């Protein structure tokens, strides 16, 4: 058949599994032409394909080996480059996280930053952290100085007025001194609240695990005597689940003190102030509930403004300080009506660490 095609002037090439050589081979049949182009016969050539296949296979194996080596080297180089770029970013991210948590003294090591661009970025962040540290340190120094400079003369003034009150005999004079004593007491509370507000905005220690139930129980016992003097009873209701939150040490206690103080001032004699802890999927909810006159919606909207107060004797900073402290630790605080009359302060802490249900 191949000869017939060759005699007709056609060439044919076939790969045979079994050739005339007794093995796999390549069979080529071509026409034999004269100088004038006339076909006088046909020629068939059969060659074994094994050497050719072996050579082709060796070429492909060589290419595969070279490609694999190149691929492995590319992966190694890419990993090294990625590590050299990402490691400084991870270090800077850790630094930013510590600054966010209140550690403004942290600094990046420029020798670990790698490329010049990353070193410049790290140096800029270091300078920003240094300036923040300087500013906050100045604020802390002012707070300490103000505490010493303001409280001492106010205490001396109050002692002087009390001594003067004891020496007076005229009722009108005594009444005038009583008014001055009340105002000096109000001024002392205002100074204390201003200092507390400044401290709430100053740099603080790193957050720690806080047992919410333990804090509520401790503050309830702390305020029990003051409540008894005011003719009010404090009731603490704990949640069944033990909750730990991530918060700055002392912030929750001070926020609760301000809320409890407001509730005691608003509660009538014979009333009850309830401190209730509830377990929510979104966090720990603490409620300070009183049954006093309450607040209108307009008053609740302004209650967190500084120096705004409807409580007699209050400085107008208690709720502002409580909000600063709670929001610093990622929480929120709101005021709602108490069913049946009164006001409820709701404090939500969302940075939950652990939850354990006694069993």
pLDDT 10s digits, 3-62? 777 777 788 888 887 777 778 888 888 888 887 778 888 888 888 878 878 888 899 999
DSSP code for 205: P
138-139-142 Cα angle (round to 5): 85
CATH topology of domain 208-356: Heat Shock Protein 90 (3.30.565)
Q: Which residue, among 165, 159, 194, has the nearest Cα to 179 in the 3D structure?
A: 165
Most confident region among 86-90, 95-99, 178-182, 344-348 by mean pLDDT: 344-348
How far separated are the first and last CA of the chain, in Å rounded?
Answer: 93
Q: What are phi and psi of 336, to 5 degrees?
A: -135, 165
Q: Which residue, among 53, 49, 48, 46, has the nearest Cα to 29 in the 3D structure?
A: 46
DSSP code for 174: H
- Cα(327)–Cα(308) distance, integer angstroms: 19
Q: Which residue, among 39, 13, 17, has the nearest Cα to 27 in the 3D structure?
A: 13
Buried b (16+ CB within 10 A) or exposed e, 184-195: beeebbbbbbbb
Q: Which residue, among 122, 132, 142, 135, has the nearest Cα to 100 in the 3D structure?
A: 132
Mean pLDDT value across residues 155-177: 84
**What is the per-residue pLDDT across 243-277, written as a single tens digit (0 to 9) for each?**
888 888 888 888 898 899 889 988 999 999 999 99
DSSP string across 9-74 = T--EEEEESS-TTSS-EEEEEEEEE-TTS-EEEEEEEEEESHHHHHHHHHHHHHHHHHHHHHHHHH
**What is the per-residue pLDDT across 97-153, written as a single tens digit (0 to 9) for each?**
888 777 788 898 888 887 788 888 889 989 988 888 888 777 767 766 776 677 777
Mean pLDDT value across residues 206-231: 88
Q: Of 249-258, 268-277, 309-318, 324-333, give the lowest mean pLDDT range.
A: 309-318
Q: What percent of the chain has pLDDT over 90?
A: 20
pTM of the model: 0.52
- Give the model's pLDDT for residue 288: 94
- Give the model's pLDDT for residue 354: 55
**Could you tell me which residues come within 8 angstroms of residue 241 by beta carbon, excluding any fewer than 6 positions away?**
279, 355, 356, 357
Beta carbons of 277 and 284 less than 8 angstroms apart: yes
Q: Which residue, among 252, 260, 263, has the nearest Cα to 350 in the 3D structure?
A: 252
Mean pLDDT value across residues 331-344: 91
Position 346 confidence tier, pLDDT thresholds 50, 70, 90: very high
- Cα(48)–Cα(261) distance, integer angstroms: 104
Instruction: Look at strands 242-247 and 352-356 and give their pairing.
Output: antiparallel
* pLDDT at residue 311 greater than cutoff 70: no
Answer with the residue of higher pLDDT: 236 or 144. 236
- Give the model's pLDDT for residue 284: 86
- Cα(14)–Cα(28) distance, integer angstroms: 7
Position 199 confidence tier, pLDDT thresholds 50, 70, 90: low
**Could you tell me which residues come within 8 angstroms of residue 87 by beta carbon, excluding any fewer than 6 positions away?**
112, 114
Position 357 confidence tier, pLDDT thresholds 50, 70, 90: very low
**What is the per-residue pLDDT across 225-234, written as a single tens digit (0 to 9) for each?**
989 988 999 9
Q: Where in the chain is the domain with CATH 3.30.565.10?
A: 208-356
Position 206 confidence tier, pLDDT thresholds 50, 70, 90: low
Answer with the residue of higher pLDDT: 322 or 141. 322
- Cα(265)–Cα(188) distance, integer angstroms: 17
- Give the model's pLDDT for residue 84: 74
Compute the mean pLDDT over every residue in the chain, rounded to the nearest whole number: 82
Q: How far is CA 143 from CA 192, 257, 316, in A?
A: 11, 20, 19
Most confident region among 52-66, 181-195, 200-214 by mean pLDDT: 52-66
């Amino acid at each position: 058949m191949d000869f017939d095609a060759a005699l007709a002037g056609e060439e044919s090439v076939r790969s045979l599994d079994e050739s005339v050589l007794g093995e796999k081979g390549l069979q080529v049949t071509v026409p034999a032409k004269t100088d004038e182009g006339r076909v006088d016969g046909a020629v068939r050539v059969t060659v074994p394909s094994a050497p050719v296949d072996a050579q082709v296979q060796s070429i492909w194996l060589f290419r595969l080996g070279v490609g694999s080596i190149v691929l492995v080297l590319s992966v190694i180089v890419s990993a090294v480059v990625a590590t050299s770029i990402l490691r400084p970013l991870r270090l800077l991210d850790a630094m930013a996280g510590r600054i966010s948590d209140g550690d403004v003294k942290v600094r990046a090591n420029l020798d670990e930053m790698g490329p010049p661009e990353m070193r410049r970025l790290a140096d800029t962040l270091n300078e920003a952290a240094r300036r923040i540290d300087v500013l906050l340190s100045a604020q802390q120094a002012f707070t300490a100085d103000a505490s010493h400079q303001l409280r001492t003369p106010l205490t001396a003034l109050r002692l002087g007025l009390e001594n003067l009150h004891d020496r007076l005999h005229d009722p009108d004079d005594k009444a005038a001194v009583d008014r001055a004593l009340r105002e000096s007491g109000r001024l002392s509370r205002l100074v204390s609240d201003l200092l507390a507000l400044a401290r709430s905005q100053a740099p603080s220690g790193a957050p720690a695990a806080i047992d919410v139930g333990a804090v509520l129980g401790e503050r309830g016992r702390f305020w029990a005597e003051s409540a008894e003097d005011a003719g009010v009873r404090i009731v603490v209701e704990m949640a069944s689940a033990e909750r730990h939150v991530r918060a700055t040490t002392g912030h929750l206690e001070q926020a609760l003190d301000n809320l409890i103080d407001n509730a005691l001032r608003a509660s009538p004699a014979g009333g009850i102030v309830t401190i209730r802890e509830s377990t929510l999927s979104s966090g720990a909810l603490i409620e300070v509930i009183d049954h006093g006159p309450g607040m209108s919606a307009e008053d609740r909207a302004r209650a967190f403004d500084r120096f705004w107060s409807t409580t007699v004797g209050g400085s107008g900073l208690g709720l502002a300080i409580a909000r600063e402290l709670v929001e610093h630790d990622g929480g929120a605080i709101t005021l709602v009506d108490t069913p049946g009359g009164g006001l409820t302060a709701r404090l939500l802490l969302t940075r939950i660490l652990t939850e354990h249900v006694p069993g």
